[in-house]
Chain A
Amino acid sequence: MNNEQQEVAQFVKMQTPFSQIDTSATDYFVAHVDSIYLTRENQTQWLQSASPKLFLIRSGLYDLVDAKGDVITRLAQGDYFGFPSLLTGEAIQNRLETQKEGIVYMLNQDAFDFLRREYKLFEQYFVRAHANRLLSSHYKSQNDSWSERKISELMSRKAVTLLPDASIRQTAKKMKEHGVSSIMITEFERLVGVVTDRDLRNRVLADEIDPKEAISSIMSKKPKYIFENNRVFSALHLMLKHNIHHLPVLDEHHKALGMITSTDLLRQQKSDPVQLIGRIYKAHSIVDLKRYAAEIPELLRGFSHNIDDISLIGKLLSGLTDALTSRLIHLFQEDNGAAPTSFSFICFGSQAREEQTLHSDQDNGLLLPDDLSEQHQDYFRRMGEFVCEQLVECGIRRCPGNIMASNALCRMSISDWCERFFKWIKSPTPEAMLNCKIFFDLRFIEGSNSLYTSFCEQLTRISRNELFYAAMASDIKSNAAPIGLFNQLKLEKDAKQHKYIDLKKRGVVIINDIVRLYALKAGVRRANTQERLDALLKYPQLNKQDVYNLKDCWRFLTQLRLRTQINEEGLPSNCINPNKLNSLERHQLKEAFYLIKQAQQAAAFKFARGSL
């Protein structure tokens, strides 16, 4: 064979590392290389994990794209790619996107290995290039949190399921067969229970149960689960909160798709807010808690950069506040003895709706059983004071309206709470209406769930009052959406004559109010506006399209609001100058306000007919 590929040789000889090593390396490269014309159409066929290759670009432009679709780097003449797989033997993770087609040289693994063996500089060059690539992608992955990824992206294994009448032994065999530590028990494709290795040990072996018994007798019934479209963050939060290691993943029709384990998640975990929540739930002292809490603003800043669904930030912050609160309650009990009776620590308002921002203040309270002795009342007074005080220390401000568990008015027995609510419902003064808007968004944080549930049931019963609904509906209507008869945006003016629209007060709040009203009427026991809307989809009195519209509006306004929080020019917070929006956004804004106005009118028509 005759090696006279002069053009190829001249080119290769000019590239590092060949320019620094003996010409024989170039000759060897040229004698073993193939050349391709890399195009958009054939770009996938060359990067095969089964036969990794070293690529050297002669002409053209290509983007190296990682598994998530982010561009790692743009490659042009003289750039190499493909070497990580050659060095590590691992499967190819990145792919190429051709920007401009051209000629690329391609060397196979054997020739690459030969050059590595024979020329030390060659080896060094590619090992170093690989290390740099890792560094830069690690840097990137610190910025974009894995925890905002969807569960479905993490799930690798298919669902292992059995019917409830399978025997315990059959279950163990099936788990062995599939090499899994947990199994889902399903009936008519619906999840009815979960069995884990630990259950087989604790509930079968230790209790000497006959392995011929049906698995349904020992499975964990009504297990916690998560949907494939939820974020990894939610899964971790659930697991940490309930101390479970296996979480079934369901599709939207509640069909079992697979199991996600804490190990799966930990494998993904690097450093981000989720880890922080984990540490908070395990903190042993107040000092630790405060230290962790001090990290929240910084972590959040990094987290919010490239987040596509901004409502997640509210969830995340509420999750952190929940974690802090719940840990403080535990620490209080460690020092002062376990609570003498059952109790529920609850939160209201934005924390309950999971719409917290960094500037949100505390809205919490204690729900206690009736007829407590003075001694017990004193215990919970101290608990309330301790938790609220320490939360302030952790950076969550006191509530200006004193809605805090340290306040005797927010630390009451179920009957007293009900009476307080009933008073507002009976005489819907403007002040009562204001209270309703805060207190009817409530969520359980820590303590006895059954106490909280029974309170909710009573609350649903007493709030079933048409006059009350009517009062709420007319209250909603009094806060007009800023859109005129002819679809003109109505602007407000501040002292300096800036024109603006308050996205929160005139938009998000109205939607929250409308949704709260429907949720009360339908008996939906959720606080988060999006979740309330999801639940309302099944509610016959609301048109599905209206629900979707409200969801879209809410999301649009929230996104816009959080975006303007980042870059605002002298306007009050949550405000926006619509003239600064582009025409599409302005159109969307008008559309959103128009839909809100319609929903306001519809609510008034449905609920307030009598009083109009």
Chain B
Amino acid sequence: MVKKWLSRYLSRKKLLAKSVFSQRYIVIDLELTGLDAKQHEIVSVAWVLVEQQCIKLSTAEHYISKEVKQLEQSPVFHGIAQQEIGQGQSLSFILNKLSCYFDDAILVFHNASLDWSFLKNAFKSNDINVRPKLIIDTFQIEKKRLLQQGQEIALDDLTLAACRGRYQLPHYSNHHALTDATATAELLLAQCHQISCGNELKLADIVKVSL
């Protein structure tokens, strides 16, 4: 047990010393019926891969869960109608697909604490054992950056759109999970570029959330 823990610790340490620019990332976005992982559900899951600073749009995937029981938020907001859910996939199918990437890609979320808690629960209830090698959170990266600049952070300063605005990234009006995953991927690249200033940037420099 200790041995296993130790080897995991060491490999994580090794990983953290690597450059952020050469890694493979899977950027994930969820649509949820609410903010509480204990009572709300996952509506859809979208992801896109980033390899060598290149967002592989052609690898992007998006699945709607057919198990979702209640759409508490406005369905128009999600762009998903109740009838589409009927054509969706089972959550275990989606989670199995997603987990395939966990071995060689680093997970990226915008606000991981929310999305990852939903995913963690979902994996557990579907008996899928996952152990992501690392999770990166563009929300936390931004928060840390703003705090370091001595700025006061208002409630909506860290939304995806607000963060992107700071890097003059294009404004996206729709909030499809796939759009948000892509938007998060772009934000990650912009943040890494901004923080590195042309210098070397290690994963350890942008990781704040530990597993």
A→B interface (CB under 8 Å): 1-2, 4-8, 11, 30-37, 39-42, 45, 58-60, 100-103, 105-106
Contact = CB atoms under 8 A, between A and B. Distances in A.
Given A59-B170, A102-B169, A31 B61 contact: no
Contacts of B53: 36-37, 42, 45
B56 interface: yes
Contacts of A101: 190, 193
Interface in B42-89: 53-58, 60-63
23 contacts: A2-B60, A2-B63, A4-B176, A5-B178, A6-B174, A7-B173, A7-B183, A8-B57, A30-B57, A33-B58, A34-B57, A34-B58, A35-B186, A36-B54, A37-B190, A40-B198, A41-B198, A101-B190, A101-B193, A102-B170, A103-B170, A103-B186, A105-B57
A115 to B, nearest CB: 14
B174 A7 contact: yes
A7 B196 contact: no
A7 B179 contact: yes
A31 B62 CA distance: 13
Nearest to B187: A37
A8 B182 contact: yes
Given A6-B179, A7-B182, A103-B186, A31 B58 contact: yes
Contact of B54 (A4, A60, A102, A106): A106
A35 B62 CA distance: 18
Most chain B beta-carbon neighbours within 10 Å: one of A2, A30, A58: A2
B39 interface: no
Interface in B160-211: 168-170, 172-174, 176, 178-179, 182-183, 185-186, 189-190, 193, 196, 198
Contact of A34 (B56, B172, B174): B56
Contacts of B169: 59, 102-103
B193 A35 contact: no
Given A5-B179, A40-B198, A41-B193, A35 B57 contact: yes
A34 B193 CA distance: 18
Contacts of A30: 57
Contact of B178 (A4, A31, A37, A39): A4
Contacts of A7: 170, 172-174, 179, 182-183
B62 A4 contact: yes
A147 B62 CA distance: 59
A464 to B, nearest CB: 63
Contacts of A105: 57
Interface string B90-122: 000000000000000000000000000000000
Contacts of B173: 7
B176 A6 contact: yes
A41 B194 CA distance: 11
A35 B178 CA distance: 14
Contacts of B174: 6-7
A37 B193 contact: yes
A102 B169 CA distance: 7
Most B CB within 10 A of own CB, among A6, A30, A32: A6
A42 to B, nearest CB: 6
Contacts of A6: 174, 176, 178-179
Contacts of B58: 1, 31-34
Contact of A35 (B55, B61, B196, B198): B55
Contacts of A35: 54-55, 57, 182, 185-186
Contacts of A32: 58
**Which 5 pairs show the lowest CB-CB distances between chains A and B?**
A37-B189, A35-B55, A7-B172, A2-B62, A39-B193
Given A5-B57, A5-B178, A33-B57, 10 more contacts: A6-B179, A7-B182, A8-B182, A30-B57, A34-B56, A35-B185, A37-B53, A42-B21, A59-B169, A105-B57
Nearest to A60: B168
Nearest to B192: A37
Contacts of A60: 168
Contacts of B60: 1-2, 5
Contacts of B63: 2
Contacts of B193: 37, 39, 41, 101
Contacts of A34: 54-58
Most chain B Cβ neighbours within 10 Å, of A4, A6, A30, A45: A4
Contacts of B183: 7
Contacts of B62: 2, 4
A254 B211 CA distance: 67
Nearest to A39: B193
Nearest to B177: A4
A374 B182 CA distance: 96
Given A34-B55, A34-B56, A58 B182 contact: no
Nearest to B181: A5
B90 to A, nearest CB: 16
A39 B21 CA distance: 12
A105 B54 CA distance: 10
B177 to A, nearest CB: 9
A442 B42 CA distance: 93
Nearest to A33: B57
Contacts of B179: 5-7
Contacts of A2: 60-63, 178
A37 B182 contact: no
A5 B55 contact: no
Most buried by B among A1, A35, A45: A35
Contact of B182 (A1, A5, A36, A39): A5
Nearest to A35: B55
A166 B49 CA distance: 63
Contacts of A102: 168-170
Nearest to A46: B54
Interface string B128-148: 000000000000000000000
Contacts of B61: 1-2
Nearest to B64: A2
